[in-house]
Amino acid sequence: MTDTPAAERPETSPHCDDPHDHTGHDHPPTGADLVRDLVKALSIQTILIVALAVVMLLAILPAAPMSPLPLLLGIVLGAAQLAVLVGTSLFVSRTRRQLAVNPGLLAVRSAAEEVLRVAAVLLAVLLWPADIRPDLGVWVGAGAALVWLVLAAAQTVTTRRRIAKPGEWSKEAISTLLSQRVGARSTVIMRLLDVIGTAAFQIGATVLVILSPVLVIGTVVLSIGIGMSTLVLHRRPPAERSRSPWAYAPLVLGLLALALAGFGLAAL
């Protein structure tokens, strides 16, 4: 009996018998893979949010008023808006959870936030009448934006720690992401776009209101539009959200408010 030539032996084929060779096959990420990717992505997101806050503060320096206190007033405004959000959330949790997706409650919350903005703007004009009004609007708006940026950074750090630490919350979160086929990259990118849109809207809306109190109606409409887009998006499966045009509405509307404010400043 003659031996089979080595070149014809099947075991020499590069991909036949190696059980660990996955060349040519696509495998979904495991839970460990997703945890690793999320921890890395959330770390990068935290750095980017902090960098965004620093860039924002540096960008508004040319419009600095005589006193830095308008920035503090803006921080108070942002804190008050956050209190409205927390208050409505507690009201929903203690009454009917269906109200969380009720457009009427969303409209009331948006109107309350814009009333607070008008009050902060009027107070700034009364406290610092010698300063240029648009500059006051920029700094008050930046202060409010800073509150939401700090909140976003804190939430990101907390989420990263909870994901990295084994536990029921982490297991449930990873299981949900795996079942819905939601990747770490898309999750982090969409959140970062929302944060940018929020900061842009805070500055743009405050400048618009200080240019003309009548424009508060427009800022309410834009605020409701941002909230409505979020409600519509949450009704879609998580895997489809990043592909929906509604996912980019907060960013687009925030940049629109900032652009309108820029046009208003340029027209002065």
Structure tokens at 85: 């959000």
Residues 232, 246 contacting (CB under 8 angstroms) = yes
Question: Does residue 231 have a pLDDT over 60?
Answer: yes
Report which of 44, 25, 266 is spatially closest to residue 157, judged by C-alpha positions: 44
Tens-digit pLDDT profile for residues 11-44: 444 444 444 444 444 556 676 778 888 889 999 9
Number of H helices, E strands in the chain: 9, 0
Can you tell me the mean pLDDT for 245-259? 92
* Domain boundaries along the sequence of the chain: 30-231+244-263
Residues 136, 210 contacting (CB under 8 angstroms) = yes
Report pTM.
0.83
Residues 147, 86 contacting (CB under 8 angstroms) = no
Helices 168-179 and 133-164: angle between axes, nearest 10 degrees: 100
What is the percent of the chain with per-residue pLDDT over 70, rounded to a whole number?
85
- The predicted structure's pLDDT at residue 101: 63
Can you tell me the mean pLDDT for 68-80? 95
Pairwise CA distance, residues 188 & 166, whole Å: 20
Residue 212, C-beta contacts closer than 8 angstroms, at least 6 positions apart: none
